[in-house]
Structure 1
Amino acid sequence: MREAYHVELGQLAEELANMCSMSATAMELATRALLDTDLGLAEQVIGDDAKIDDARSSCEEHAYALLALQAPVATDLRTVLAAIHAAESLERMGDLALHVAKAARRRHPNPVLPEQIRPQFSEMGRVAVELARDAEQVILNKDIDQARSLEEADDEMDDLHRRLFSVIMDKDWPHGVAAAVDATLLGRFYERYADHAVSVAKRVVFVVTGRMPGYAEDEDV
């Protein structure tokens, strides 16, 4: 019975890792849609968001079934509870990629971003996708060192976001209020995406060590 239960826990981890992959792909395509003014890619991200939502529902149903099947304790209980929280964060990552894609669609055929800040968003997209891919590996391998390394990548995202904000707020910003508002919102989406990826990794640290690293996570998408 215990062996079968641990097989189920392994399958749950694979479901979460697949959600990481889906969220990473969504942000990768959304960033390309944003930078290349590609309506087809934007529509693809928007259409595929329901798959991430369904994956969260499936993960949660699986986790609750495991709670009901056998009252887990210690590491097993932490694994199931962490999976429920991680699925929520991963769905939000998909939602944030969706917001990026919708911004690209809303402004099409015009570009959303002025040329001046395109490099910053290209870098933020790269970091965001790498964080999601790394979180996928952390879930599969339970690598605590790799989990903790995600915070360094998140620091890079925070630095990119601060630099972006300083450009937008500069008194010589020449692109108008609408462009500033779009860029501010989009920058926030990438920053929050990274925060959620780090949250997922911290859940794995909790599973392995029994200690939840301290952090304050804003609940807004």
Structure 2
Amino acid sequence: MREVYQEQLDKLADELAAMSTMVGNAMEQATTALLGADLSLAEQVIDDDMKVDEARARCEEHAFGLLALQAPVAGDLRTVISTIHAAESLERMGDLALHVAKAARRRHPQPVLPEDVKTYFSQMGQVAVTLANRLNQILRTQDVQQARDLEVDDDEMDDLHRHLFTVVMGSEWSHGVSAAVDITLLGRFYERFADHAVSVARRIVYVVTGTMPNSDRP
């Protein structure tokens, strides 16, 4: 019975890891659509978001099933409860990629991004995908050190976001208020994507150690 129970717990980890891959792919495609004003790719991200929602529902269903049927305690209980929280964060990451894709669709055929900020979003997209890929490994291995390192890796996204904000608010900005609003919102979507990745990684630290890392991050 214990072996079956452990298989069920492992399945939860695999489901979360699969979700991290899905949202990483979504953000990668959304970024490509944003940079290239690619309507068909933006539409694909929008259509595929339902798959992320369905994955979260399955994950939560399995987690609540374990709570009801197995009455887990101690570390197992932390795993199940953290799975529910992590699935919510991962779904939110998918929603943020969805927002990026919708921005690309809304402005089509015109590009959303002025040329002088495209480099920032290219780099933020790369960081976001890297974080999602690393999160996949963390969820599968429950490696505490990698989970803690992810929070350090997120600093690169924060730096890019701050520099982007400086450009938009600078005296040399010549693209108007509407573009500034678009850029500000888009930058926030990428920053929040990274923040949710960190939140999931912190949950893994909690699962393994029993202690939530001290942080002022959400």
TM bin, normalised by shorter chain, reads over 0.9
> 1-side partners of 2:51 and 2:122: how far apart?
25
Task: Report the counterpart of residue 127 of structure 1 in structure 2.
Answer: 127
Secondary structure of the equivalent of 1:110?
coil
RMSD: 0.8
> 2-side partners of 1:82 and 1:216: how far apart?
19
How many angstroms does 1:2 deviate by? 1.6
The count of aligned residue pairs is 218
Sequence identity of aligned pairs in percent?
A: 67
Which residue identity does 1:16 align to in structure 2? L
- CA displacement 1:114-171 (0-9 Å, x = unmatched): 0000000000000001001111100001111111111121111000000000000002
> 2-side partners of 1:160 and 1:88: how far apart?
26
1:141 and 2:141 aligned? yes
Which residue identity does 2:19 align to in structure 1? M
> 2-side partners of 1:71 and 1:116: how far apart?
55
How many angstroms does 1:215 deviate by? 3.0
1:197 and 2:197 aligned? yes
Task: Report the counterpart of residue 63 of structure 1 in structure 2.
Answer: 63
- Unmatched 5+ stretches in structure 2: none
- CA displacement 1:21-79 (0-9 Å, x = unmatched): 00000000000000011001100000000000010011001000001111111110010
Task: Report the counterpart of residue 20 of structure 2 in structure 1.
Answer: 20
1:210 and 2:210 aligned? yes
Task: Report the counterpart of residue 175 of structure 2 in structure 1.
Answer: 175
> 1-side partners of 2:120 and 2:143: how far apart?
30
Which residue identity does 1:84 align to in structure 2? I
Task: Report the counterpart of residue 42 of structure 2 in structure 1.
Answer: 42
Task: Report the counterpart of residue 100 of structure 2 in structure 1.
Answer: 100
1:81 and 2:87 aligned? no
Secondary structure of the equivalent of 2:66?
helix
- CA displacement 1:147-206 (0-9 Å, x = unmatched): 111112111100000000000000221111111000000000000000000111111110
> 2-side partners of 1:198 and 1:40: how far apart?
31
> 2-side partners of 1:153 and 1:179: how far apart?
29
> 1-side partners of 2:83 and 2:32: how far apart?
30
> 2-side partners of 1:24 and 1:55: how far apart?
14
- Unmatched 5+ stretches in structure 1: none
How many angstroms does 1:17 deviate by? 0.4
Judging changes above 3 Å, is the alpha-carbon distance between structure 1 residues 58 and 216 closer, same or farther for their aligned structure 2 residues?
farther
> 1-side partners of 2:55 and 2:200: how far apart?
16
1:184 and 2:184 aligned? yes
Task: Report the counterpart of residue 110 of structure 2 in structure 1.
Answer: 110
When normalised by structure 2's length, the TM-score is: 0.98
